[in-house]
Chains A and B, each alone.
Chain A
Amino acid sequence: MKNFRDSEHLLRFAFLFAMVLALFLIVRHFVVPKSFGEYGHYRGAAIGETAARPIHFAGQSACATCHTDIAATKQAGMHAGVHCEACHGPLAKHAADPASVQPPKLDTAVLCVRCHAASAAKPKNFPQVAAAEHSGGLVCETCHHPHSPAIQSEGAK
């Protein structure tokens, strides 16, 4: 077998190649996460992990569970579509533990203007005012109750 003896060194390199490949396959077997490929080419468990992230905004219905009176007032007025946390901020902690976590006080001077300051860029049918001229220096809630802002509404206490 003269032919083999003179080409056996090629097998040595091939063996090196095969060893690297085998090592790769062994390592791969242990390293690839178990849920990889469960739904597609990704780690299936990542879906659950993303879904388990903490919630900060409790959501309108959580607020209305307890604050039934305010929810009813709001529902009857112009701000029916504005959810509680849009002004009051993220309050999931408050919803989970109402006694110990209290929502911060709000500054209507900032809040109202954020939406209602006049600008040519806003839709024409959206109520907007030039804040400086509109109230003559009075704060918004002198005339408008935030939960039911139309002036004729006396429903809110």
Chain B
Amino acid sequence: MTKVHVTTTVNGDTVEFLADPRETLLDCLRDHMGLTGSKEGCGTGDCGACSVELDGTLVCSCLVLGVEAEGKTVSTIEGMANGSELHPLQRKFIEHAALQCGFCTPGILVAARKLLEVNPDPTEEETRYWLAGNLCRCTGYDKIIRAVLDAAAEMRQEVA
């Protein structure tokens, strides 16, 4: 199939790539841009391991076509830290041992960042429902939820 030239912005950088119209945004990120931090766990939008923001909307990048990124802004796990300074969520995930194998972690961090953007003071239940689309098979979610709530508390203090 004839490839389509796509120009988009990923983590602040302008990037261009040729996409087969059948390829997902996830495939394009991973295979054309070398951004392998977003993971494919299911390819059907059920596991959330490929979570990215597309023009500020949290999406499963396995459910978006690469050509749909034309002219848009994509932010992935690779752009979450500010240089060498980790985002508070990233730091809290390490401190709380909120990852075991770490495969679901990029997607959960991207989804949790969006949660704290729209709701800086979520309850445990709100956090659990927000992250219900991000599967983790290792942790039982306990330490993930604690890390998100702790990061939220820290970020609120910074703002204050």
Q: Do A and B come from one complex?
A: no
